[in-house]
């Protein structure tokens, strides 16, 4: 029970101190809006393309929302030494890092639904398989957050975290099938797509929204789950090696 | 929370290396329940590293640690519920208020809402911060930040408390208040591990003291026993006008009943087991063209013992600490 009090309070503190700040709320709304608008205008097609764009916009909102926030919250707390308070608390490192990342996961999931709400006014969403969309969004949220965590614990400065994040994020926009089908990429680049976790989440979303997917949903979910576990374990290992010297 | 019959802290052969540097070199000590133990040493001696090893913020290269009888060598989390830490830097959350910071720190130890709010208010009162309770930590003065950081370290009433330079960089009144709180905690039975570079503070507060230099404990004893060799000694410090003059040898041959030392420029330190007669000394110096600008009787203290044992001038240690960036992570 005591550990869950700690867990909940770390999450609540982060939500209040970082995620529910006006700049972040506006970021969470404006960023997906801007991406939706950009691709909508670029595609030059009518409202029927909204559903084609939706999986990519949802994913990009989660990816940028989670990785940006974690790079700041974790790296900032490490720099200011307030993270030491958490390391001194009598809760396991696993539980502590889950508490620290839960805020980002929730933030990412909420961000993902902003384009869905916008799309609801522009297109008919009745054909979407929500039973696939919801778990896919949750898993994309978790995997993006753990990717952000992995980046945050691999560097010392906030600017390094931001730069390192972009090293992963921008190629993912083009390589993971968000807006361009993987099959349209040059053959020698395609293997890169399959080593990036977001590819599998986007595949589920495309399947659930437009009925087009490359792999089976079960395989997509399993691979996403494996990525979550591996990234979390690697991040914990990095914390132990780099932060508890 | 009470500890059992085992020592509060039992450290054996603690060793910590950072690349080629041995920060802590095979040190061993035991601290009894309810004891106020001081760790005294210059910048870079290994004081903070020792605290980090004992609290789980640094990994041991060798040695064993038991906290409250619990073996924490491979599992530092095992005894963290028994421990409170006040670090050498204020590391609370700038965006939270004083009250929120304390409540959050209490929650980390699993305290329930009502309990943590009552305790937070009680500590804000104790540290004279009630009026600043609703102000953000970022807006606190340095002294207020140190006091709130101290309060956060004891919010969960830990039976073992690590204090890393708790009075460094704060005003005299706040430092006195902090020392009084340390004394009160000790009276209530809390085991305190205190690192400080203020020798006088260690002498006044601690029951037992270890001198640590370059990662090694060079002396460890009860404060009263450490003071034994200097008890009853008369010490006179003469300030002289000529810093170049090396008069100690001449003085020693003329006045064999006294011991002379000149480790600080423009100062001669005279030690004797009997009274020191100042007249002949000043005349002797003036005959050699050296003016005595000040003569000061010095009460022998732990500082003298520290200088004797470590060979480090205490004033130098203090100045080093007060340099910007001094007193950081040892």
Q: What is the pLDDT of residues A198-218, one digit of tens each?
A: 999 999 999 999 888 999 999
Q: Which residue has the higher pLDDT, B84 or A46?
A: B84
Residues B29, B166 share a domain: yes
Say if residues B258 and B276 touch (Cβ distance below 8 Å): yes
Q: Does B286 fall in a domain?
A: yes
What average pLDDT does range B89-103 have in this prediction? 94
Q: Does B321 fall in a domain?
A: no
Q: What is the pLDDT of residue B322?
A: 56
Kindly state the percentage of chain A with pLDDT values over 70.
97
B87 with A84: Cβ contact below 8 A: yes
Cα–Cα distance measured from residue B94 to residue B97, given in angstroms and rounded to the nearest whole number: 8
What total number of domains does chain B contain?
A: 2
Q: B196 touching A, CB under 8 A? A: no
The pLDDT confidence band at residue B328, using thresholds 50, 70 and 90, is very low
Q: B160 touching A, CB under 8 A? A: no
Say if residues A145 and A105 touch (Cβ distance below 8 Å): yes
Q: Which residue has the higher pLDDT, A38 or B107?
A: B107
Provide the shortest C-alpha distance from residue B58 to chain A (in Å).
5
List, for residues B116-155, the tens digit of each pLDDT value: 999 999 999 999 999 999 999 999 998 999 999 999 999 9
Look up residue B134 and give its two tokens.
């609703």
Residue A75 has pLDDT above 90, yes or no: no
Average pLDDT in chain A: 88
B110 with A82: Cβ contact below 8 A: no
B57 with A6: Cβ contact below 8 A: no
Provide the shortest C-alpha distance from residue B249 to chain A (in Å).
50
Q: Does B4 fall in a domain?
A: no
| Strand ordering across the sheet containing B234-240 | B259-261, B267-272, B234-240, B292-298
Q: Which domain holds residue B273?
A: 232-299
Say if residues A86 and A3 touch (Cβ distance below 8 Å): no
Q: What is the pLDDT of residue B3?
A: 65
Name which of B94, B110, B152 is nearest A5 (Cβ-Cβ).
Answer: B110
| Strand ordering across the sheet containing B160-164 | B83-86, B160-164, B191-196, B36-40, B208-213, B216-222
Q: What is the pLDDT of residue B315?
A: 62
Name which of B83, B91, B96 is nearest A81 (Cβ-Cβ).
Answer: B91
Residues B47, B93 share a domain: yes
Provide the shortest C-alpha distance from residue B223 to chain A (in Å).
30
Name which of A5, A84, A92 is nearest B112 (Cβ-Cβ).
Answer: A5
Q: What is the pLDDT of residue B326?
A: 41
Contacts of A15 in chain B (CB under 8 A): none
| Strand ordering across the sheet containing B62-67 | B21-31, B9-18, B62-67, B70-71
The last residue of one of the domains, among B228, B257, B285, is B228
Residues B250, B101 share a domain: no
List, for residues B177-205, the tens digit of each pLDDT value: 999 999 999 999 999 999 988 888 999 99
Contacts of B59 in chain A (CB under 8 A): 244-245
Q: What is the pLDDT of residue B194?
A: 96
A85 with B152: Cβ contact below 8 A: yes
Contacts of A7 in chain B (CB under 8 A): none
Cα–Cα distance measured from residue B274 to residue B305, given in angstroms and rounded to the nearest whole number: 19
Q: Which domain holds residue A128?
A: 2-243
Sign of CA dihedral B268, B269, B272, B274: positive
- Cite the DSSP H helix spans in B157-247: 172-187, 199-205, 223-227
H/E run at residue B326: none
ipTM above 0.90, yes or no: no
Residue B325 has pLDDT above 70, yes or no: no
B85: closest CA among A75, A61, A223, A82? A82
Name which of A2, A8, A88 is nearest B57 (Cβ-Cβ).
Answer: A88
Q: B151 touching A, CB under 8 A? A: no
Residue B42 has pLDDT above 80, yes or no: yes
Q: Does B328 fall in a domain?
A: no
Say if residues B28 and B7 touch (Cβ distance below 8 Å): no
List, for residues B255-299, the tens digit of each pLDDT value: 999 988 887 778 888 988 888 888 999 999 888 888 899 998 888
What total number of domains does chain A contain?
A: 1
The last residue of one of the domains, among B228, B244, B269, is B228
Q: Does B311 fall in a domain?
A: no
Q: Does B63 fall in a domain?
A: yes
Q: Does B76 fall in a domain?
A: yes
Residues B260, B128 share a domain: no
Provide the shortest C-alpha distance from residue A36 to chain B (in Å).
33
Kindly state the percentage of chain A with pLDDT values over 90.
44
Q: Tell me which residue has tokens 């989440």.
A: A201
* Pairs across A and B, CB distance < 8 A: 67
List, for residues B205-222, the tens digit of each pLDDT value: 999 999 999 999 999 999
Q: What is the pLDDT of residue B312?
A: 77
Contacts of B110 in chain A (CB under 8 A): 1-3, 5-6, 90
Provide the shortest C-alpha distance from residue B205 to chain A (in Å).
26
Provide the shortest C-alpha distance from residue B251 to chain A (in Å).
53
Residue A78: closest C-alpha in chain B: B91
B66: closest CA among B5, B154, B18? B5
Say if residues A185 and A175 touch (Cβ distance below 8 Å): yes
Q: What is the pLDDT of residue B327?
A: 39
B59 with A82: Cβ contact below 8 A: no
Q: What is the pLDDT of residue B329?
A: 37
A244 with B58: Cβ contact below 8 A: yes
What average pLDDT does range B217-246 have in this prediction? 85
Residue B113: closest C-alpha in chain A: A5
What average pLDDT does range B5-24 have in this prediction? 92
Pick the residue of B52, B99, B107 with the most A CBs within 10 A to test the interface with A by mutation: B107
What average pLDDT does range A147-164 have in this prediction? 83
Name which of A82, A90, A93 is nearest B93 (Cβ-Cβ).
Answer: A82
A245 with B89: Cβ contact below 8 A: no
Question: What CATH number does the domain containing B39 carry?
Answer: 3.40.50.300
B58 with A86: Cβ contact below 8 A: no
A84 with B152: Cβ contact below 8 A: no
A13 with B108: Cβ contact below 8 A: no
Q: B115 touching A, CB under 8 A? A: no
Provide the shortest C-alpha distance from residue B183 to chain A (in Å).
24
Residues B48, B95 share a domain: yes
Contacts of B163 in chain A (CB under 8 A): none
Residue A95: closest C-alpha in chain B: B108
Contacts of A81 in chain B (CB under 8 A): 87, 89, 91
Q: Does B78 fall in a domain?
A: yes
Residues B150, B62 share a domain: yes
The pLDDT confidence band at residue A45, using thresholds 50, 70 and 90, is low
Cα–Cα distance measured from residue A144 to residue A136, given in angstroms and rounded to the nearest whole number: 12
Is beta strand B70-71 parallel, antiparallel or unpaired with respect to B62-67? Answer: antiparallel
Q: B111 touching A, CB under 8 A? A: yes
Asked which of A230-234, B44-48, B169-173, B228-232 is least confident by mean pLDDT, the reply is B228-232
B110 with A1: Cβ contact below 8 A: yes
């Amino acid at each position: 029970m005591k550990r869950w009090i700690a867990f909940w309070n770390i999450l609540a503190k982060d939500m209040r101190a970082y995620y529910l700040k006006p700049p972040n709320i506006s970021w969470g709304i404006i960023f997906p809006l801007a991406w939706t608008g950009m691709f909508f205008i670029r595609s030059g097609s009518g409202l029927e393309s909204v559903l084609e764009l939706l999986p990519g916009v949802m994913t990009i909102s989660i990816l940028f929302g989670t990785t940006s926030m974690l790079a700041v919250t974790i790296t900032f707390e490490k720099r200011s030494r307030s993270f030491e308070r958490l390391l001194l608390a009598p809760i396991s490192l696993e539980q502590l890092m889950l508490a620290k990342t839960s805020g980002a996961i929730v933030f990412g999931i909420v961000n993902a639904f902003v384009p869905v709400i916008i799309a609801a006014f522009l297109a008919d969403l009745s054909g979407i398989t929500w039973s696939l969309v919801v778990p896919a969004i949750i898993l994309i949220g978790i995997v993006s957050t753990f990717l952000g965590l992995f980046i945050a614990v691999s560097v010392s400065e906030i600017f390094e975290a931001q730069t390192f994040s972009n090293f992963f994020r921008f190629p993912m926009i083009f390589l993971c099938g968000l807006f361009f089908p993987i099959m349209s990429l040059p053959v020698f680049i395609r293997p890169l797509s399959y080593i990036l976790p977001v590819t599998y989440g986007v595949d589920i979303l495309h399947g659930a929204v437009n009925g087009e997917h490359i792999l089976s949903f079960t395989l997509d979910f399993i691979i996403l789950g494996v990525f979550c576990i591996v990234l979390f374990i690697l991040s914990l290992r990095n914390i132990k090696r780099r932060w508890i010297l | 929370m009470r500890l059992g019959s085992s020592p509060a802290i039992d450290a054996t052969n603690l060793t910590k290396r950072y690349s080629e540097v041995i920060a802590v070199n095979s040190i061993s000590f035991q601290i009894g329940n309810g004891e106020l133990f001081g760790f005294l040493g210059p910048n870079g001696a290994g004081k903070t590293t020792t605290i980090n090893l004992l609290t789980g913020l640094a990994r041991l290269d060798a040695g064993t640690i038991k906290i409250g009888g619990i073996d924490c060598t491979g599992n530092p989390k095992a005894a963290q519920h028994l421990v409170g830490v006040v670090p050498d830097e204020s590391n609370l959350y700038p965006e939270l208020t004083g009250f929120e910071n304390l409540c959050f720190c209490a929650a980390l130890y699993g305290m329930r809402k009502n309990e943590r709010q009552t305790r937070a208010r009680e500590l804000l009162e104790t540290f004279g911060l009630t009026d600043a309770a609703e102000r953000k930590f970022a807006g606190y003065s340095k002294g207020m930040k140190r006091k709130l950081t101290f309060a956060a370290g004891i919010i969960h009433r830990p039976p073992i408390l690590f204090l890393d330079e708790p009075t460094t960089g704060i005003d005299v009144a706040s430092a006195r208040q902090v020392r009084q709180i340390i004394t009160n905690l000790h009276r209530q039975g809390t085991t305190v591990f205190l690192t400080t570079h203020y020798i006088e503070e260690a002498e006044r507060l601690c029951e037992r003291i270890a001198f640590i230099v370059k990662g090694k404990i060079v002396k460890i004893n009860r404060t009263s026993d450490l003071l034994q060799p200097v008890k009853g000694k008369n010490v006179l410090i003469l300030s002289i006008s000529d810093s170049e003059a090396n008069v100690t040898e001449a003085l020693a041959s003329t006045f064999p009943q006294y011991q002379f030392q000149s480790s600080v420029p423009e100062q001669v330190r005279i030690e004797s087991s009997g009274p020191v007669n100042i007249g002949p000394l000043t005349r002797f110096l003036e005959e050699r063209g050296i003016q005595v600008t000040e003569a000061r009787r010095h009460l022998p203290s732990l500082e003298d013992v520290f200088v004797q044992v470590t060979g480090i001038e205490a004033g130098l240690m203090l100045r080093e600490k007060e340099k910007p960036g001094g007193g950081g992570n040892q």
